[in-house]
Each structure stands twice: as structure tokens, then as C-alpha cells.
Structure 1
Amino acid sequence: MQARFARGIAQMPLTVAAREVQQAEAAVMPEVGDLVTVCSRDQETRFSIRLIGVAGPDLWYGKIHEINRGVEMLVVAEGLELDDVVSVRRAEIASVIPAERPH
């Protein structure tokens, strides 16, 4: 997962090592508006991200909606904050909660 902005003296994009997830063929494919979960590689920090745009095949832009470490809710973790915009690869998405869509 990579932040779309630069922070700090180096002005480099911020990258958080996310755990890659084996996807089943029948797994729900995320769409813009869905809420997805990305887990850090240490599996202790979970980021809930609302997808806001498509960045490419199997790549989305999203805004961090919630950050959790265990039962603790955080505002900042691993250099990322609530409302930061990040890019997320399909392989990093652990779960998808579909947005309400008309049927």
C-alpha cells in the first residue's frame, strides 16, 4: 500500500508493507465505493479503506476510513493517518464490504 503524497524531509511517497492475501477465484472483486480491509505485514494493524477511484488493473485509490491495532482504534499508524489517500493492490485486500448498490 502506498500513500499518494510525500511527507518528511525526503519528500518520498510513503509505503506500508501490507500482507498479501491469496484470493479465491470466486472472491468478490472490489469496486469504487466499497470498504476494504488491508492488514500490515505484522498483521497487528488493520486499515479500513473506502475505494474512491480506479488506478489501473487490480489497483485502486482509497481514503483511510479507520485504523485498528487489536481492539484499539488509532488516528495514526505506520506513518499513515485517517483520511490519507493511498493506492491499494488487489493482492493486499483481505476483505471487501460492498457499498450499497441498487439491484
Structure 2
Amino acid sequence: MQARFARGIAQTPLTVAAREFPLAEEAAMPEVGDLVTVFSQDLVTEFSIRLNAAAGPDLWYGVIYAISRGTEMLVVAEGLELDDVVSVRRQEVASVIKADSQH
């Protein structure tokens, strides 16, 4: 997962190593508008991201909607903050909540 802006003195985009998941059934393929879950490498930090644009067949841009670590809700984790714009690869998506689903 990569933030789409520069941070810090080096002014380079921030990349967070996300846990990769095997491709699931076709029904779980994310689309623009869906809410997806991405986990950090250690599976402790969970990022909920609302996808807002496709960047390729297996790449989307989205906004961080929520960050949690266990039962604790966070504003910042691993250098990323709520409302940051990130790019997400299909392999990083752990789960998908479809935009048209009733929850």
C-alpha cells in the first residue's frame, strides 16, 4: 500500500508493507465504491479503505476510512492517517464490503 503524497524531509511517497492474501473467488473482486480491509504485515493493524478510483486492472486509489489495532481505534498508524489517499493492490485486500450491500 502506498500513500499518494510526499512526507517528511526526504519528500518521497510513503509505502506501508501490507500483508498479501491469495486471490479469492471472483465475487470478492473490489470495485470503486467498495470498502476494503488491508492488514499490516504483522496482521495487527487493520486499515479500512473506501475505493474511489481504479488505477489499473488490479490497482485502486482509496481513502483511509478507519484504522484499528485490536479493539483500539486509531487516527495514525505506520505513518498513515485517517483520510490519507493510498493506492491498494488486489493482493493486499483481505476482505471486501460491496458498496451496494446492506450493512
Settle same-fold status: TM greater than 0.5.
yes
- 1:18-47 alpha-carbon deviations (Å, 9 max, x no partner): 000012344411000000000000100000
Give 2:83's aligned amino acid. Answer: D
TM-score by length of 1: 0.94
Match of 2:58 in 1: 58
Measured against aligned partners, the alpha-carbon deviations of 1:55-102 in whole angstroms (never above 9, x if no partner) come to: 11200000000000000000000000000000000000000000027x
How many residues in Structure 1 have an aligned counterpart in Structure 2?
A: 101
Determine what percentage of the aligned residue pairs are the same residue. 76
Q: Tell me, in whole angstroms, the C-alpha distance in 2 between the residues paired with 1:89 and 1:57.
A: 9
CA distance in 2, matches of 1:62, 1:50: 5
Which residue of structure 2 aligns with residue 93 of structure 1? 93
Q: 5+ unaligned residues in a row in structure 1: which ranges?
A: none
Give RMSD over aligned pairs. 1.1
- Structure 2 length as normaliser, TM-score? 0.94
1:43 correspondence with 2:58: no
* Alignment pair present for 1:6 and 2:2: no
Secondary structure of 2:91's counterpart equals helix
